[in-house]
Amino acid sequence: MDNVPYEEWAEFLIGVLREEGVGRESAAEEGGESLRDEERAKNLAVERNTVLDLGCGTGTLTGLLYRAGFDMIGIDNSEEMLELAMRKRERSGSDILYLLQDMREFELYGTVGAVCSVCDSLNYMLEDADMVKVFSLVNNYLYPGGVFVFDFNTVYKYEQVIGDATIAENRDDCSFIWENYYDAGSQVNEYDLTVFVREPEGDRFRRFTETHYQRGYTLGQMKGFLEEAGLLFVRALDADTHGEVRAESERIYVIAKECGKRTV
């Protein structure tokens, strides 16, 4: 986890999505100009505006993107996290679609204009083949020319910054204690995590205790996975400064695009 507010993540993602033409207005204009069949144009416009939040957790970021005007789908493999996400949905009156699925095997009924995956969700992929599988599915379900925005924690962060350490943080909607163990040989990071998540109603917190395994990656590795999956690498940014990626970058944003389908 990084000490970055959800609002800041959302602001960055919204900027990228708008820049890439994802949104109701741009989608409707594109469909109306290229298709005579109004119903088909409408359906494609909906797909073009839909954003998939891959590894959505409790749905905080998903909700922020929904309020920004995007149709949202959230996928996570934690039933407990999705339960909290759906409570937030009920409270807000939104119509976000949440699906309990493994990102290595996720399925959608149609394409989406964009896929985002933040808060180091992709670091849970411990094998090269798993990462390529996820990226291949993203490519398969992206609308032609659709955008994929994700972040990841680097080898540098796990090895040089966290190492064998204990971290504790308090946030608006959750608090956590993170006991960390890093193996430099495998580049796999193990941590025991205790999370206290605020429930949507009132000031009650729910306690989760889990052991997680994450793997650090380099930007070069991520570029290779994107290429193997048939996605086009566009650019990368230091996630903390939004400037150029440095050797000391702890977390990196990557922006990629769909440029043709491959068999998954």
Which helix or strand (DSSP H or E) is residue 61 part of?
helix 60-67
CATH of 157-215, one of 3.30.2130.30, 3.40.1360.10, 2.20.25.110, 3.40.50.720: 2.20.25.110
Share of the chain above pLDDT 90, in %: 69
Q: What is the model's pTM?
A: 0.84
In this structure, how many other beta carbons lie within 10 angstroms of the beta carbon of residue 92?
A: 14
Amino acid at 133: K
Q: How far is CA 43 from the centre of its chain?
A: 24
Confidence of residue 46 (pLDDT cuts 50, 70, 90): low
State the helix-helix crossing angle for 219-229 and 128-141, rounded to 10 degrees: 50
pLDDT for 235:
98
Structure confidence by residue, pLDDT tens digits, 206-263:
888 889 899 999 999 999 999 999 999 999 999 999 999 999 999 999 999 999 877 6
Give the SS3 label for residue 36. coil
Confidence of residue 25 (pLDDT cuts 50, 70, 90): low
Kindly state the tokens that stand for 67: 């309020």
Most confident of 39-53, 149-163, 174-188: 149-163
Beta strand extents in the chain (DSSP E only) = 50-54, 71-76, 97-100, 112-117, 142-153, 166-170, 174-183, 188-198, 205-215, 231-238, 251-258
Residue 26 in this model has a pLDDT that exceeds 60:
no
Mean pLDDT of 94-111: 97
Q: Which CATH code fits 6-154+216-258?
A: 3.40.50.150
Q: Specify the length of the chain in residues.
A: 264
10 Å CB burial of residue 126 (0-12, 13-18, 19+) is: middle
pLDDT for 169:
86
Domain definitions of the chain by residue range: 6-154+216-258, 157-215
Least confident of 79-83, 120-124, 257-261: 257-261
Residue 77 in this model has a pLDDT that exceeds 50:
yes
